[in-house]
Amino acid sequence: MKITAIETIQVSIPYQHDGPLTGFGGTVWSKLSYLLIRVETEDGLVGWGETFGYNAIAASIAAMETVVKPLALGKDTTDLATLMAGLKKSLHLFGRSGPVQYALSGLDIALWDLAGKRAGKPVAGLLAQEPRSTVPAYKSFMRLQQPDIVSRACERAVRQGYQSIKLHEITVEAVAAARKAIGDTIGLTLDVNCEWSADEAIRMANQLLPYKLKWLEEPVWPPEDMTGLARLRKTVDIPLALGENLANAWSFFPLLDEGVVDYFQPSVTKMGGISEFSLVAQAAARHERKLAPHSPYFGPGLLATLHLAAAFPNIGGIEIFGVDLESPLFGSVGTVGSDGSIAIPLGPGLGCDPDPEVIERYRV
Ligand SMILES: [Mg+2]
């Protein structure tokens, strides 16, 4: 079944969150921008994927339109693994990471959606014999900065049913406010997005010990400084998480049999899609390692992560971005229940297509 069309669709949707407008990558986000990938095959069937968005969208579109799409159009999708492996090998010298890999990720997710639709099975059912029907979720706030805002946001998340919360703060005061607001039984993690040197991270990790973090995420700049990270892990007894900046499955493999990283965080829209993520999940299972996927997404990237979590028991919970979109892409699908878990949309493929009216309204 040949690929007849690949379309990139940017949607930018206004949102609200608990603090003042903020963003990542040195910009302030007034809207959240996502890049949907629509793939059609010769039988007229349509699959949906997502390529890493936000500040990377223009680069991701260029990589898809000029590098990946010309090679992928006309290719037979029957053997998805062989098709994706072939594309990755052909394109490897133009980027095993970054926009080319992001574009391949979006294509791969759309092809899994198509494969599920064609087989009449959910993607989770293609990946595992008996997938879970729900997975726990944790609320992942943007950086809120002020301890009183952190405190109020955490209280609201607990009232909504969340059993676990992630902060993107960089001060001990903000973490202390969160722990005080949620008590001892709610899980708390901290993502500092590579804020510190290894020495600073050791100093800060020691100060954070009283707040019983389930993990400290990307504490060290640069994220590739595994020597610094190993020194931190050896010096301070605090679990570490990392992986959203690892480019592909092969970047994870050497780390799985070391004791430095406690939670591995593949990002399905960045590191090669469902095919590549599955390789990491399978290898992690063999090493008895836990995954905590990076998934601050609201499009097919979130659904893909949900299906992967349903299929692989070593995924403990799903990251749900702590913002409220003006209009969600999938209606109530992918929303968190009062027990803090999410139901997997177990229809064929990813289980739900994006709402065409929402796309129309927010398309850029
Ligand atoms: Mg992170």
Give me ligand 1 centre to Cα 357, in Å: 31
Burial of 315: CB neighbours in 10 Å, binned 0-12, 13-18, 19+: buried
Domain extents in the chain: 3-120, 125-355
Under 8 Å between Cβ of 127 and 278? yes
CA-based nearest residue to 299, from 65, 10, 68:
10
Under 8 Å between Cβ of 136 and 338? no
Give me ligand 1 centre to Cα 246, in Å: 12
Mean pLDDT of 108-124: 98
pLDDT digits (tens, 9 = 90+) for 200-238: 999 999 999 999 999 999 999 999 999 999 999 999 999
Give me ligand 1 centre to Cα 92, in Å: 26
Give me ligand 1 centre to Cα 315, in Å: 16
Give me ligand 1 centre to Cα 218, in Å: 7
Under 8 Å between Cβ of 271 and 318? no
- CATH number corresponding to 3-120: 3.30.390.10
pLDDT of amino acid 20: 87
Phi, psi of 196 (to 5 degrees): -115, 160
pLDDT of amino acid 8: 98
Please give all residues whose CB falls under 5 A of ion ligand 1, grouped by chain where several chains appear.
191
Give me ligand 1 centre to Cα 317, in Å: 14
Confidence at 25, pLDDT banded by 50, 70, 90: confident
**Domain 125-355 belongs to what topology?**
TIM Barrel (3.20.20)
Q: What is the mean pLDDT of the chain?
A: 96
CA-based nearest residue to 87, from 99, 75, 98:
75
Residues 6 or more apart whose CB falls under 8 angstroms from that of 250 comprise none
Q: Which two tokens stand for residue 315?
A: 């995924």
The answer to whether 3-120 and 125-355 have equal CATH topology is no
